[in-house]
Amino acid sequence: MHLREATPSDYDAVWDIFQAVIRTGDTYVYPPDTPRADLQRYWFADYMHTFVVEAEGEILGTYILKANQPGLGDHVADCSYMVGERARGRGVGKLMCEHSIEFAHRSGYRAIQFNIVVSTNVAAVKLWQRFGFRIIGTTPQGFRHAKRGLVDTYIMYRELYPGRWRGNA
């Protein structure tokens, strides 16, 4: 299993994962019927880095990393991760999280913040906590879960390693 930057040839495989994840309506804010044409702006926009995890020619997962906010907030990164259904439980999320922390640090970010983690996504919350992310805020009933109705969402945050950052020129 190896992680690499996504290329245009990965688009179909990333769409398959993206579509399978959002259609359940339980972890991402994108509408379950999001059209394929929207993948470009949600996952392959010019201002973000898109990565894939691959094993034996199959894309198992994907993540994006971008500035959380423009301008004076661009020293904090934001990430989103998706794991293919058949790849769950194989360490793909762990590999992507490790890589994103290191990549964000090398890119000059001071921290990573997840703006919306659905509270019922217990496996993701536990994984992020194992990597040092902490819940710094809760939005009551911030997500319309397809099966559970309104559920809370978390803002999760992790400082990166001390040292140089983009504002330290």
- Whether residue 164 lies inside any domain: the answer is no
Whether residue 166 lies inside any domain: the answer is no
Report yes or no on 24 lying in a domain: yes
| pTM (2 d.p.) | 0.91
Structurally, the chain folds into a number of domains equal to 1
Burial 29-67 (b: 16+ CB within 10 A, else e): ebeeeeeeeebeeebbeeebbbbbbbeeeebbbbbbbeb
Q: Please give the pLDDT value at position 163.
A: 53
Q: Report residue 86's pLDDT band, with 50, 70 and 90 as the boundaries.
A: confident
- Residues 107-121 have pLDDT tens digits of 999 999 999 999 999
| Structural domain containing residue 60 | 2-159
Pairing of strands 111-118, 76-83: parallel
Contact 92, 134 (CB under 8 A): no
What pLDDT does residue 60 have?
97
Residue pLDDT, tens place only, 35-81: 999 999 999 999 999 999 999 999 999 999 999 999 999 999 999 99
**CATH code for the domain in which residue 33 is found:** 3.40.630.30
Q: Does 18 map to a domain?
A: yes
